[in-house]
């Protein structure tokens, strides 16, 4: 019994020391190229006679080696103000560049002296490799 335990311990120690002597290979991280949205932010600001709505978006596109590529960010703004009426405005725009590109679109809702709640939750940003 003791001999079996000693042999098992020796085998275990030998396998552990052998595993530690193995050459470690570096893992190469491969990133798939393609555009991605860095930031997409919609907001509303109360002005003198209504609400200014703004959507800002930033997109980026790099190859697997980190080299900048062509990219277009597509912005779609839908803005709503709810008071005793519901009013809306919309705007869109495309902005192109190399590597990273940012753009903003805006619209205005005239509510006169009335205040309400402003929303841009249906707005969106997208990008394309072009």
Domain count, the chain: 1
Asked if the structure places residue 68 within a domain, the reply is yes
SS3 19: helix
Asked if the structure places residue 84 within a domain, the reply is yes
Higher-pLDDT residue of 73 and 9 is 73
Asked if the structure places residue 88 within a domain, the reply is yes
Contacts of residues 41-48 at CB distance under 8 Å and 24 or more positions apart, as own/partner, are 42/77, 42/79, 42/120, 42/121, 42/123, 43/120, 44/79, 44/81, 44/118, 44/119, 44/120, 46/115, 46/118, 47/108
pLDDT average, residue stretch 65-70: 94
CATH number at residue 70: 2.60.40
Residue 33, pLDDT above cutoff 70: no
pTM given for the model? 0.72
pLDDT digits (tens, 9 = 90+) for 34-55: 899 999 999 999 998 999 999 9
Residue 27, pLDDT above cutoff 50: no
Asked if the structure places residue 51 within a domain, the reply is yes
């Amino acid at each position: 019994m003791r001999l079996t335990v000693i042999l098992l311990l020796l085998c275990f120690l030998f396998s552990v020391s052998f595993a530690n002597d193995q050459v470690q290979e570096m893992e190469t991280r491969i990133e798939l190229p393609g555009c991605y949205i860095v930031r997409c932010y919609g907001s509303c600001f109360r002005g003198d006679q209504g609400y200014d709505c703004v959507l800002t978006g930033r997109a980026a596109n790099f190859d697997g080696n980190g080299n900048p590529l062509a990219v277009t960010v597509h912005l779609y703004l839908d803005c709503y103000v709810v008071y005793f009426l519901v009013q809306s405005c919309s705007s869109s725009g495309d902005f192109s560049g190399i590597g990273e590109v940012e753009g903003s679109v805006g619209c205005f809702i005239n509510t006169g002296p009335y205040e309400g709640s402003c929303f841009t939750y249906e707005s969106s940003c997208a990008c394309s490799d072009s």
